[in-house]
Homo-oligomer: A and B are copies of this chain.
Amino acid sequence: MRATFLYGAGDVRVVDVPEPTLVAPTNAILSVVLACICGSDLWDYQAMPDNPGGRGKGHEVIGVVESIGAEVIDFAVGDLVLAPFVCSDNTCDFCQEGLHSSCRNVSFFGGDGTPGAQAEKVRIQQADGTLVKVPVSVDSPLLPSILTLTDVMCTGHHAAVCADVSPGDTVVVIGDGAVGLCAVIAAKRRGAERIILMGRHTARTDLGREFGATDVVAERDEEGVAKVRELTGGDGAAKVLECVGTSSTISMALGICRDGGVVSCVGAPQYSEAPLNFGTFLRNITVTGGVAPARAYIDELMPDILAGTINPGKVFDQEITLDDVAVGYKAMADRQALKTIVRP
Contact = CB atoms under 8 A, between A and B. Distances in A.
A219 to B, nearest CB: 24
Copies of this chain in its oligomeric complex: 2
A268 B273 contact: no
A259 B291 contact: no
Contacts of A87: none
Contacts of A272: 275, 277
Contact of A277 (B94, B97, B273): B273
Contacts of A94: 259-260
Nearest to A280: B290
A288 interface: yes
A276 interface: yes
Nearest to A108: B282
Contact of A273 (B260, B273, B281): B273
Contacts of A288: 284, 286-288
A285 B290 contact: yes
A284 B280 contact: no
Contact of A284 (B102, B285, B286): B102
A280 B265 CA distance: 11
A10 interface: no
Given A274-B274, A276-B273, A286-B286, A281 B268 contact: yes
A281 B290 contact: yes
Interface of A: 94, 97, 99, 101-102, 162, 259-260, 265, 268-269, 271-278, 280-291, 293
Given A94-B259, A99-B260, 16 more contacts: A99-B284, A102-B260, A162-B284, A162-B286, A265-B281, A268-B278, A268-B281, A269-B276, A269-B277, A269-B278, A271-B276, A272-B275, A273-B275, A273-B277, A274-B274, A286-B287
6 contacts: A102-B260, A269-B278, A273-B273, A273-B276, A284-B290, A287-B287
Q: Identify the 3 closest CB pairs spanning chains A and B, nearest first.
A: A284-B290, A102-B259, A273-B273
